[in-house]
Chain A
Amino acid sequence: MAIALPPSGARTALALSVLLAAAAQLFLKAGAETLPSDSSWESGLSVLTALRSGWIWLGIFATVASLIAWLRALRTVPLNVAFNIAALSQVLVPVASWFIFRESIGLLRGVGIGLVFAGVVVIAKPLVRVEARL
Chain B
Amino acid sequence: MNLASVLALLLTQVCAVGGQVLLKLAVTPGPPLAWGPPRWLVYKAAAIALLTVRFFVWIGLMARFDLSFIYPFEALEPLLLVLAAALFLRERMTARLWTGVLLITTGVIFVSFTDHRPATLDPVPAVVENE
**Residues in chain A within 8 A of chain B (CB atoms):** 1-3, 25-26, 28-29, 31-33, 35-37, 39, 41, 44, 46-47, 50, 56, 63, 67, 70-71, 74-75, 78-81, 83-84, 87, 90, 93-94, 97-98, 101-106, 108-109, 111-120, 122-123, 125-126
A33 to B67, CA, bound (A): 10
How many whole Å from A85's CB to the nearest CB in chain B? 9
How many of chain B's residues touch chain A, expressed as a range? 35 or more
Q: Are A3 and B107 in contact (CB under 8 A)?
A: no
* Shortest Cβ gap from A45 to chain B (Å): 11
Label chain A's interface by main secondary structure. helix
The answer to whether B103 touches A116 (Cβ under 8 A) is yes
Are the C-beta atoms of B96 and A3 separated by less than 8 Å? yes
Q: Which residues of B contact A90 (CB under 8 A)?
A: 71-72, 74-75, 104, 107-108
Known: A46-B63, A50-B59. 20 other contacts (CB 8 A): A31-B59, A36-B63, A39-B63, A41-B4, A41-B5, A46-B60, A47-B59, A74-B27, A79-B24, A84-B97, A94-B67, A94-B71, A101-B67, A103-B66, A105-B68, A106-B114, A111-B110, A112-B110, A114-B107, A122-B100
B75 touches A123 (CB 8 A): no
Query: A108, B59: Cβ atoms under 8 Å?
Result: no
Closest Cβ of chain B to A25, distance in Å, is 7
Q: In the bound complex, do residue A112 and residue B101 qualify as a contact, i.e. CB atoms below 8 Å apart? A: no
Give residues of chain B (51-68) contacting chain A, Cβ–Cβ below 8 Å.
Answer: 51, 55-56, 58-60, 62-64, 66-68
Across the interface, do A119 and B63 meet the contact criterion of CB distance under 8 Å?
Answer: no
